[in-house]
Each structure stands twice: as structure tokens, then as C-alpha cells.
Amino acid sequence: MSPADTDLTPMYRQWAQAKRDFPDVLLLFRMGDFYELFYEDAEIASRVLGLTLTAREKHRDGGIPMAGVPWHAVETYVARLIRLGYRVALADQTEDARFAKGLVERDIVEVITPGTATSDSLLAAGENNYLAALAPGRGTEWGLAVADVSTGEFYAGEVSGKRLAEELSRLSPREILWPRSVDPAHLPARGEGVLATVLEDASFFHESARRLLLDHFHTASLVGFGVDDLPDAVRAAGALLQYLRTLKRSDLPHLSRLRRLRSDEVMYLDDATLVTLDVFPRREGSVENSLLGVLDRTETSPGSRCLRRALRRPLLSSAAIRERQDAVAEFAGERALSDAAGGALSGIQDIERLTSRASTGRASPRDLAALRDSLARVPALREALASVASARLVALASEISEHAALRDHLARALVESPPATLGDGGLICDGFDPGLDEMRRGSRDGKSWIAGLEARERARSGIPSMKVGFNRVFGYYLEVTRAHLRLVPPDYERKQTLVNAERYVTPELKEVESKVLGAEERSVAREKEIFGELCRSVVAEAAPLLATAGALAEIDMIRALAVAAARGGYVRPEVDETTEIEIEEGRHPVVERTLASGEFVPNETRLGAPGRRIAVVTGPNMAGKSTYLRQVGLIALMAQIGSFVPAARARIGVVDRIFTRVGAADDIARGQSTFLVEMNEASNILHNATERSLLLLDEIGRGTSTYDGLSIAWAITEYLHDTPGLCPRTLFATHYHELTELANRHEHVHNLNVLVREWNDEVIFLRRVADGSADRSYGIQVARLAGLPASVLDRARVILEELEAGEFVEREARPEASAQLGLFAMAEGERLLEELRGVEPDRMTPLEALAKLAEWRRRYGGG
């Protein structure tokens, strides 16, 4: 329902014009003390927010659907809409109603989407909120730009189509922009809850995008940003910047630096690996049960965001890793330095987001006070860092400015605890602005006169209960109860009638009231002007403020790693360019926190040297195989963010990627069974792993029949071992004990097992990993721990004994079942293996492969 403009009042025509400018958003239109929604917007808001739907003003189609929210609570409602995936526009008054001639002008002041939010109510303090833009380029290349408007970060680069999905997964944007001409089917899958926004192709034209960026940064070229030779990156960055400018109604001066996106300098961790290793909290899980929870000892929100970025982007350069390690070691080794820096950081609020809100015109008086108070803590931090020696801390300390002039300006201007909103007044200190002081004196003098009015009028009239009051509707008044109305002086003018009293004014009171209220209105207006000037002074210093904030965040992160190392008893690992991993007394950083001190059993790891590149890990369920695999992955990851690690000693050859294939899960929404998901993950590993990768494989092949699964697991291991230039460092946990035979057949495969002991038919888990293979899985004993009925356990023991003796026959065996033979026990199996080794699938056509399979089926019992 959308009426013609001729059907609407002037105010509704204002609304209609704003709606035309942004037809695909929910428009909240300020009317007095409420933000109102109309037509379809009102119906949607009523449905998803639970608002009462009303109708107002008739036109030829009937009442106009209408719903509203109080102005002071609008952020809460906007936050709910954004989380539900809607775009929201705020239309507000753009002129003072006191000076308006006719209808007060209104216009959209901000459009908010998931990727452009700046309000604290819409953001997680410790997480970035990225907006991404994609520009299709030459061949398989894509231009990619990403920005966090709430912090001022802005990146652009070019990536191959193969790496695009990886990069988007690493950045986790809340919203993605792309040109209308691009078929969404050609784009990588978006994560859950990611908003897709289609822009016109003109937004991605190279020349207009480049000109916009040059104008924005006030430069003659983009060479200084490292993207001048990346036309597709420029196209994406220009489209993103134009989108933000349009929505934020601002020039975005805090986006003062464009940095080149360099994905080749950091490790890519896919979502499966991040979840498997519990790097971040799982959905609805506790942050304490994650690596982030172990390491996040930051004092500030930017520091926490910096740590999250480091965990998503571990370093690949051993030199860069050692530089960060030096900084961590300096904090870890000097308690006084760490305590002094932590004390200074603890009082620093989110300078990045405070600066952003000032730059986009959304700052409140309390935001500027928070910035003032934060800058007041910076000198103490600089003093604490004055004698640091590590190269990274020296560099970061040099990037910190005290911003003394801005800090002093804000300190002189703002009261200690300013009000939440501008309209409340009382946010500027006395003595800061002479004109404001004069207005305040006039107001105070008038109020002082009014304060004495009550006593004077009681004496003059003889009315003992007379009192002076004030409300926003009727202003100041003299209130007289009905019992004393006969005593009211003749010069009193009736102003309001109540049930038990009358309210009056006098000519003198009206005159003084006019002066007082006029002075207060002028004071509030002047304070708004001064506040705008203060915001502009912040905007003028946005670039150095954000540089300081970035340095503070990294210092906070480095110190947090040092604090975590001290609390956990971690050691500094050696990081080099070899392909070996050596860990002495390694521990799982998350699991050990859940156990009493000393309960976690540490283990050794030697992986990557000749003869020890692939380890087949056997042992019973619950013995600790999965924990062992994960702790090796976490120690490698921690080492490559510059952290110390939970071990007695560690040497980590730089890992280019960590791959995990753990557990069983289906994807019903995409029609994928547990086994298909497992095979998809295995395929991804085989196609993308390199010699420098670390593979953590747990129970590959368990999602299908025993023989199929064993065959696949065996073939995958041989592929990893035999493919030229591959043979990655691999830990392969399995219950297929036949796989231990691989160590006898292949040079770089060795066996590990998790030790257990049996006592009176019970299993005692020793949690120790040693060379060699386990002889059984102890599944029945573990099943007893789970509480299975005794009859089931007894029957399982009988069947197990028959199977192990080769005597088990199904009670209603099918003819073909009796012919099914052990894969490696019979001569036919051995011959089939030899033939498999001689097959080169890459040189076979699909038809030849099918023919070969049919031949094997005929020869080896398939019929």
C-alpha cells in the first residue's frame, strides 16, 4: 500500500520523499517523542517487534497503518531489527522547530545495516563488524574490499576465485556488496545471517571508484596505499566507500587509511578447524571453554578485537613471529612493566569506536567524555613503555600520541559527568564560553527571583499554603487551594484549573519566566553549537587518534599473551622454517583449565622428521586421542600468533595451514549425509594440503561400512604419503587397527598409541601417548562405563569372541554375506592390493575406471 502524494498531508509527503530515496529500508520517522513507521513498514515492525498497529488519518484507501517506538528507546528497537536482517533508516528534524516557518524540515540522517552499524547496542565490544564489497575481475580474480566503519579499518586487495571463499570466511563480514550483473550462483556461499546487498554496476566502474578514493584521501595517486596496480581492488573499495557515504550521510573522515589486503602473509583457518579446535566459543557456549577464553587477558575492547584477528590470521613469517615473541617475553619477564601498562590500559575505553561515532555525527556527550578520560590515561602508558627494548614494543610506543591539545580542550569544555543526550543541557563547563556564561547568569538570576517569589506572595496575599511550581506545558505558576481563593490578589491571572486548586501567574512572573526560559533555550542551543565544534576537533584528529588506538590495541594484546603465559606456565617455543614439530610435555590449553592442578597428563610429540611425518594413532575411546590431536594443533596455532605455549619445550616448523577432520555431522539443509560431509572435508584437505601443512584426522571412513571405510582411510593415507611433494605432517587417529600395517609398508608412517591398562575387566586410562600400536579398542569396557544393560554387554562379548576367532555366522545369513572375506587376510585381498598400487587414476578415463571396477567386482566375489 503506497498512496499518491496528492492523498497525503505535507508531513506525510515528507515521509514519502524519504521513503522514495531508500525504498528497501524500514523508515523510522521522528514525530515529537516517537519514531513512527507507516504502511508496510508499520506492518513489518508490528509483526517482528510486537508493536501495536494503529491507523491514523483517512485517505481514499482507508486508514494509514502506523506503529511507533519512543525516541529515547529507538536504539533498542533498531538493534532488534538489524539482528533480524532488516535495514533501517532514521529520519529526524533537520531544523529547530522554534525557527521553522511552517512544517519542520525532516530528512534521513542515517541508514543502518548489519555491516554499517556504529552504535554500541548493535556491536559486540570485542569483535569487528566488517562490510565487504566484491568486484569481479580479470579471469578468476576478484577485487575484495572490507571496512569496519565503527573502527576506521579499510582494506582492499585482489584474490583468486579459489581463495575468495577462504578470505570471506576469515573476515566474517556481516554484509556483502556486489554488482547487479553478477549471478549470485557464481559467488561463494555466505555465512549464516550475512546480509546480501546488490548495487548498480556503475558503483563498480574503475575510473569513478578511483576518483572517489583520490578525493577522499586527498592524494594524487593510490601508490602510497599499495593498491594502484590492483584495478579490481580499487573498484571494490570505491563501491564500498560510496555505499558508506550514502548511508552514513558523512564524508567518513575517520576512514583515513587504505591498507592492502595481504592474505599470503597469514595462515588461513577454515571454519571446521576453528570449531574443532575450539579457538572461539561455540554458539551458546562459554568463552571460557575456548582458546580465546584462555588467552584473552586484554584490558580494552580494541585489544580483544586485535587478539581475535590474530587468532584468525596466524603469522607465516618466522621472523615476524619471533618479533612478537620478543615483545611477549619482555612483558612476561618484567612484572613491573606489565603491571604499569595494564593499569594504564584498564582506564582506556574504545577510542576507535568513539572516534568513529564523532566522525559520523553520532557521538553523544558521554562519548566525548569517555574519549577525554581515555586520553588522560595515555601519558601513563607512554611512561610505562619508555624503557622497553623489544623492537615491536619500541615501534608501537612510537606510534602513540598523547593528543594533549585535544585532551585539554575536551577537559576544559566538558563537565565531569555530562548528560546522555544533548537536549538535556548542562554538559559544558562554566567559564569555557563567555556567551554561554552570560545566558546561564540570566537564567540563574531569574530562578533566584522566582525562588523568593513564594515567600513574598504568601506575605502579600495572606495565603499560607501558596506555592510556586513549574511544568513543561504551563511553565511557572502560583498554586492556590480552593479554600483560599477569596484571598487571591486582583492582579493574578488564572492559568490552569485543577480539582482542588487554581494556578495563576502575575505580569511580573510572566516577564521573568520569559527571560529564564529564553535563557535556558539559548543555553541549550549554544551548548549544541559548542558540542558540534568539539566533535569537529575530534574529527580533525581522527587519523592520529586511530593510529594511537591501533598501537594501544596491539600492546594490549601482546601484554594479554604474556599474562596468559604466566598464569598457564607456558614456555616460549622455537619457531623455524623446518617441517618438524617437537613438543615436550605438551598440554591442551583449554582442557587443562577444567581439571584440578596437576591432573592433566602431558605428552610428547615428534612429527615431521624423516620416518615420522604421518602418525597413525590408535587406542580406545575416551583414552585421549582427540585431545592429543587437538592440543598439537592448538600449540602450533599459539606459536604462530607469537604466544607462548603449554609445554616444557617446543619447536615448531612454520605451518602454512591446519586442517581438521574430526567427528560426525550431517548437513540436512543441503541434503548431505554424515558420510558425505566427511568425504567433502577429506577432499578439501587432499586438494589443498602442502608439505608444510598440519593435518589432524580423526576417524576417517567411520561413516560407512567397515570395508569401505577402511579402504578409504588406507587409500587416503597412502595418497598423503606417496604424492610427490606432499607428505604433510599428519596425526591420524583411528579404530581401524589394520592401518597400523602402513608403518611396515611406508617409510614415513609410524604408529602411536594411547596407553591403557586392564584390571578386573576394567580399563584404566593412562592418558600417555607412546610409540607403537594398540591391540584393541576396548569398546565393550567403554560401553559399560556408559551404562549399557549387562545383557547387551554379555552378548557383545560372545559375538566379539566369535568374530575374533573367525567363527561368527549370521543366524539368517545371506548367500553373499558368507562369501565376504577379510580385506587383507586372504590371498585375493593381497592380489587386489597389488593391482590397486599399479593403477594410476589420473591417467584413466571415467569409462576405463568403471570397467576396472566391474572387473574387480566379478573377480573378487561381487557377482
Top mean-pLDDT range of 162-166, 362-366, 647-651, 685-689: 647-651
User: Using CA atoms, how far apart are residues 223 and 107, in angstroms rounded to an integer?
Assistant: 38
Residue 770 located in a structural domain: yes
User: Are residues 95 and 156 located together in one domain of the fold?
Assistant: no
Helix axes 335-345, 542-568, angle to 10 degrees: 130
Write the pLDDT tens digit of every residue in 568-627: 999 999 999 999 999 999 999 999 998 888 899 999 999 999 999 999 999 888 888 999
Residue 752 has pLDDT above 70, yes or no: yes
Find, among 485, 488, 508, 511, the residue nearest to 498 by Cα: 485
Find, among 852, 859, 809, 801, the residue nearest to 831 by Cα: 859
User: Are residues 251 and 351 located together in one domain of the fold?
Assistant: no
User: Are residues 520 and 556 located together in one domain of the fold?
Assistant: no
User: Are residues 68 and 204 located together in one domain of the fold?
Assistant: no
Instruction: Grade residue 822 by pLDDT with cuts at 50, 70 and 90.
Output: very low
Query: Once rounded to an integer, what is the mean pLDDT over residues 647-671?
Result: 81
User: Using CA atoms, how far apart are residues 414 and 372, in angstroms rounded to an integer?
Assistant: 9
Cβ-proximal residues to 849 (8 Å cutoff; 6+ apart), any chain? 841
Residue 632 located in a structural domain: yes
At 378, which CATH number? Answer: 1.10.1420.10
Residue 102 located in a structural domain: yes
β-strand partners of 106: 93
**What is the domain range of residue 517?**
434-534
pLDDT of residue 704: 76
User: Are residues 359 and 500 located together in one domain of the fold?
Assistant: no
- Asked if 620 contacts 577 with a C-beta cutoff of 8 angstroms, the reply is no
Calculate the CA dihedral of residues 451, 454, 455, 460 and round it to 10 degrees.
140
Write the pLDDT tens digit of every residue in 835-852: 777 777 777 776 677 777
pLDDT of residue 520: 82
Higher pLDDT, 319 or 800: 319
Query: Minimum mean pLDDT among 130-139, 334-343, 462-471, 828-837: which range?
Result: 828-837
User: Using CA atoms, how far apart are residues 377 and 384, in angstroms rounded to an integer?
Assistant: 11
Write the pLDDT tens digit of every residue in 23-36: 999 999 998 889 99
Take residue 225 and report the three cell numbers written for it: 596505499
User: Are residues 757 and 699 located together in one domain of the fold?
Assistant: yes
Number of domains within the chain: 7
At 206, which CATH number? Answer: 3.30.420.110
Last residue of a domain, one of 77, 112, 147: 112
Residue 742 has pLDDT above 80, yes or no: yes
Top mean-pLDDT range of 163-177, 183-197, 636-650, 765-779: 636-650
Residue 787 located in a structural domain: yes
Residue 858 has pLDDT above 50, yes or no: yes
Residue that has been written with the C-alpha cell 584477528 in this structure: 309
Find, among 417, 448, 441, 437, the residue nearest to 527 by Cα: 437
User: Using CA atoms, how far apart are residues 102 and 98, in angstroms rounded to an integer?
Assistant: 10
Residue that has been written with the C-alpha cell 602450533 in this structure: 636
User: Using CA atoms, how far apart are residues 421 and 425, in angstroms rounded to an integer?
Assistant: 8
CA angle (606, 611, 614) in 5-degree steps: 65
User: Using CA atoms, how far apart are residues 653 and 318, in angstroms rounded to an integer?
Assistant: 9
Residue 281 located in a structural domain: no
Strands 475-481 and 581-586: unpaired
pLDDT of residue 815: 46
User: Are residues 555 and 648 located together in one domain of the fold?
Assistant: no
What's the Rg (C-alpha) of the chain? 36
In the chain, the percentage of residues whose pLDDT exceeds 70 is 91
Find, among 30, 42, 39, the residue nearest to 104 by Cα: 30
Last residue of a domain, one of 112, 139, 162: 112
Find, among 532, 528, 551, the residue nearest to 306 by Cα: 551
Residue 669 has pLDDT above 60, yes or no: no
Residue 156 has pLDDT above 70, yes or no: yes
- Three-state DSSP class for 721? helix
Residue that has been written with the C-alpha cell 582458546 in this structure: 291
pLDDT of residue 761: 67
Find, among 622, 619, 804, the residue nearest to 796 by Cα: 804
Find, among 531, 318, 260, the residue nearest to 419 by Cα: 531
β-strand partners of 467: 479
Residue 836 located in a structural domain: yes
Write the pLDDT tens digit of every residue in 483-542: 999 999 999 999 999 989 999 999 888 888 888 888 888 898 899 999 999 999 999 999
Find, among 271, 311, 321, the residue nearest to 291 by Cα: 311
User: Are residues 744 and 642 located together in one domain of the fold?
Assistant: yes
- Asked if 555 contacts 341 with a C-beta cutoff of 8 angstroms, the reply is yes
At 71, which CATH number? Answer: 3.40.1170.10
Higher pLDDT, 407 or 1: 407
- Burial class of residue 299, CB neighbours in 10 A (0-12, 13-18, 19+): buried
User: Are residues 18 and 89 located together in one domain of the fold?
Assistant: yes
- Asked if 738 contacts 777 with a C-beta cutoff of 8 angstroms, the reply is no
User: Are residues 797 and 845 located together in one domain of the fold?
Assistant: no
Residue 816 has pLDDT above 50, yes or no: no
Query: Could you tell me the pTM of the whole model?
Result: 0.85
pLDDT of residue 814: 45
Residue 463 located in a structural domain: yes
β-strand partners of 207: none
Query: Minimum mean pLDDT among 142-151, 643-652, 704-713, 743-752: which range?
Result: 704-713
At 614, which CATH number? Answer: 3.40.50.300
User: Using CA atoms, how far apart are residues 9 and 5, in angstroms rounded to an integer?
Assistant: 8
Return mean pLDDT, the chain. 88
- Asked if 164 contacts 236 with a C-beta cutoff of 8 angstroms, the reply is no
User: Are residues 145 and 229 located together in one domain of the fold?
Assistant: yes
User: Are residues 357 and 386 located together in one domain of the fold?
Assistant: yes
Instruction: Grade residue 861 by pLDDT with cuts at 50, 70 and 90.
Output: low
Residue 851 located in a structural domain: yes
